[in-house]
Structure 1
Amino acid sequence: MTAKANDVAAWMMDALAADGTLYQDVAASSVADRFGQDFLIINANGNFGLSKAVLAAFNKLSGDNVVWSKSERCWRFRQDYDLPGRQQP
């Protein structure tokens, strides 16, 4: 069976549920090991990131329950103090 973006997104949700946070560098490394480098990109900062297809699948799967913490470069579950929208400072 060939992995798809939805498979990667489901793994990301499981990892987030287990740890409470999912850091981009950890996610990229784990995705490369588990699913292959086809799901990675090199972003503008020269760091490995997740492909647009994976991020779209993850956003759809996680809905409004998960936010991206820009300062910490991680996904985490939404808290009462969070601003509207997915991206947080």
Structure 2
Amino acid sequence: MVHTPTEIAQWMAEEIHRLGELAQVDAIAAVAKRFGNRFIKINERGNYALAPMILKEFRKVSEASIVWDRERKRWRPRRSDDELGRQQN
């Protein structure tokens, strides 16, 4: 089965809402296992990362409902006390 970046982004958003959060490392491992290594890249620091096409679609499907917790390196549902913007401390 061929998966699209949008399907993967939607799956990530569903997982975050189901689990309450999704660590970056767990997202990378799960995407590679479920959808294939073609959706993973090695970034400029030599670390595994989600491919830009996945992150682009993820922003589209989750912009209003999910935030990135920079400190904990994970996504979580937006809370009423969050600051404006995507990234939270």
TM-score, with structure 1 as normaliser: 0.91
1:63 match: 63
1:7 equivalent in alignment to 2:25: no
Between 1:6-15 and 1:41-50, the stretch displaced more is 41-50
Which stretches of structure 1, 4 residues or longer, exceed 6 Å deviation after superposition?
A: none
TM-score, with structure 2 as normaliser: 0.91
SS at match of 1:64: coil
CA RMSD in angstroms, aligned pairs only: 1.2
2:54 match: 54
SS at match of 1:10: helix
Superposed, 1:71-82 pairs within 5 Å as 71-82=71-82
Residue 82 of structure 1 and its aligned partner are, at CA, apart by 1.4
Identity of matched residues, %: 37
1:21 match: 21
Q: Residue deviations 1:32-81, cap 9 Å, x none?
A: 00011111122344321111110111111112111000110000011122
Structure 1: which 5+ runs fail to align? none
The amino acid that maps onto 2:75 is: W
Structure 2: which 5+ runs fail to align? none
